[in-house]
Structure 1
Amino acid sequence: MQPEDDLKSRIEAALVRGHFTQWQRQFLLDMRDRLVKYGPRTRLSAKQWAKLYEIIGPAPPNANASPQSRSDRPPSSPRWQTRRWRSPLAREARYLAARFARTFGIALALIVGSLIYSFIIRGGHVTWPSMPSFARSGGSEWVPLARTQFTITDGDTIRLNGAAKGTRLVGFNAPESIEPRCDSERDLGRRAKARLKELVAEAKLELKMVPCSCPAGTEGTDKCNYGRRCGLLFADGRDVGDVLVSEGLAVSFVCGSTSCPPTPRPWCG
């Protein structure tokens, strides 16, 4: 096994068995994606190495065969590795602050770009930036959605550009690919995620935001669907959930107006 493959496997194993803060989980996902993309050409800073080994455990004896140059490897001193980032609360605060700054910057860039376009190209008639209309109107109607306006988190979850949380697609439940309960769920979860990417790749997409099935006054908070919004996604006129269910990659999951039954997870027996 190549060193980068071994490290990627250790990260995935940690994601399955560990309980992390949002910052730690996103950090591990970013490191895994970087290893997948660059393989043996992956380069990490000394700080990133130290943080990675702090989360997943000390490096094995053959860690010197890392997928990057020797100059970027973390110092061998345990004291250096534990001196910084002592407080999980401080890490989480820095992570949330960075996300807020990034989201604010994207929104500001869109507004400035719209103003420039309006006054130079359209003769002074101000228009909204090119972003999903439900981000402005509250999402009570079907709106067209471009593939470049969101990323796919899992077989039943997407994240709109600039959104702090994902959007849970309702009416079905897909197996988990990030925190599966068994190997068969992990494999099926990856297939469901890949299939969703295929469905939206070239299709005409429409999204409708709907109320989540939560007690009144909790939507938008962690007490309701982990802070995620809820929606329906259609590709070429078909609900993507119906397609995944019909292909055995998801199961039907219908909630009431303020609560849901136990989440169906039949993949581990």
Structure 2
Amino acid sequence: MQSHSDSKPGGATLVLFEAEHLKANIRNALVEAALSPWQRSFLSDVLSKLEKYGGRARLSDKQRLKLNEILGGDGTRRQEAVTTSRTTRQTRRSRFRTPSFLSRRIRWWRRRLVRDAVVVALIVMAGLVYLVFETGPVQPFLGTVGKWSQAMGPVDQAFTVTDGDTVHVAGERAGTRLVGFNTPEKFSPQCEYERKLGERASSRLRELVKSPNLQLTKVPCACPAGSEGTDACNHGRSCGVLKVDGRDVGQILIGEGLAVPFICEGNRCPRTPRPWCG
């Protein structure tokens, strides 16, 4: 007679009755027992093999030993696993549940957005403080007629002093570079002496524009045709001549040692003179 199982080196073959009994126990364990992830994966693999091969399924001695450890020595689950309530399992799972990948990513992005918003706010505040202390008060003046966007000529809008050779007309996107001279840089100096001299030139220009007799006239920039008003021409700035009591402010600053001549011809300019750092 043939026994219920054949002992072979590759493991023992299960008869149909034993296979069905084992499948039922594994299903119950997967539903009710508190299993570790590894135990659950192991039982699922054995169940798949039993469902596929039935009584012809072959289990190694090691697999049988693990089944006995998980389900019990007689092929059934231990009593303590049977008596564990569903409420206790749910409480335990909720207590030790780790955050999902999506929730972790959402929290990470939320923290990053808050950090970036704080950094941007600090940069904006620093820029505002710099403008308040560096650009000085608005120096208004009234010209005669005209707007440079239609035709070059006098401007009838208020402006602020940016530095010794640049002003900014109210309502315009970019500043107006005063032509014929160059003052030391106070925003990007090559040395400390140039920065200090640039501050003096800016302060002197603010003093000059306090005069009631001002005239700012827009003139063509020395740029290729069609490029004026773009970044390719003078960094998007327009060009102008500012006179105080009939005198060009550039000539006044040059005479006081706060500027040097800077003459452009046609649509070309020489290299910007900056002799203050040697």
- In the superposition, the TM-score normalised over structure 1's length comes to 0.51
1:139/1:208 contact within 8 Å kept: no
Q: CA, structure 1 residues 233+160, in 2 after alignment: closer, same or farther (shift >3 Å)?
A: same
CA shift, 1:29, in A, is 3.6
- Aligned partner of 1:175 in structure 2 is 184
- Aligned partner of 1:134 in structure 2 is 146
Q: CA, structure 1 residues 136+256, in 2 after alignment: closer, same or farther (shift >3 Å)?
A: closer
Identity %: 50
2:152/2:220 contact within 8 Å kept: no
Q: CA, structure 1 residues 248+217, in 2 after alignment: closer, same or farther (shift >3 Å)?
A: same
Q: Give the alignment's Cα RMSD to 1 decimal.
A: 2.8
Q: Which runs of 5+ in 1 are unaligned?
A: 1-23, 38-129
User: Highest Rg: 1 or 2?
Assistant: 2
- Cα distance in 2 between the residues matched to 1:235 and 1:244: 12
- In the superposition, the TM-score normalised over structure 2's length comes to 0.50
3-state SS in 2 of match to 1:201: coil
Q: Give the residue type in structure 2 aligned to 1:198.
A: E
Q: CA, structure 1 residues 26+252, in 2 after alignment: closer, same or farther (shift >3 Å)?
A: farther
Q: CA, structure 1 residues 264+219, in 2 after alignment: closer, same or farther (shift >3 Å)?
A: same
Q: Give the residue type in structure 1 aligned to 2:195.
A: R
The runs of at least 4 aligned residues of structure 1 exceeding 2 Å deviation read 24-29, 31-37, 130-143
- Aligned partner of 1:238 in structure 2 is 247
Q: Higher relative contact order at CA 8 Å, sep ≥6: structure 1 or structure 2? A: 1
- Cα distance in 2 between the residues matched to 1:25 and 1:173: 30
- Aligned partner of 2:277 in structure 1 is 268
3-state SS in 1 of match to 2:181: strand
Alignment of 1:1-150 (within 5 A): 28-34=126-132, 133-135=145-147, 138-142=150-154, 149-150=158-159
1:158/1:167 contact within 8 Å kept: yes
User: Residues 133-153 of structure 1, C-alpha deviation per residue, up to 9 Å, x if partnerless?
Assistant: 43266343345x57xx00000
Q: CA, structure 1 residues 33+160, in 2 after alignment: closer, same or farther (shift >3 Å)?
A: closer
Q: CA, structure 1 residues 131+169, in 2 after alignment: closer, same or farther (shift >3 Å)?
A: closer
3-state SS in 2 of match to 1:134: coil
1:225 to 224, 228, 234: 234
Q: Give the residue type in structure 2 aligned to 1:267.
A: W
Q: Give the residue type in structure 1 aligned to 2:150.
A: G
CA shift, 1:179, in A, is 1.2
Q: CA, structure 1 residues 242+229, in 2 after alignment: closer, same or farther (shift >3 Å)?
A: same
- Aligned partner of 2:199 in structure 1 is 190
Q: CA, structure 1 residues 237+263, in 2 after alignment: closer, same or farther (shift >3 Å)?
A: same
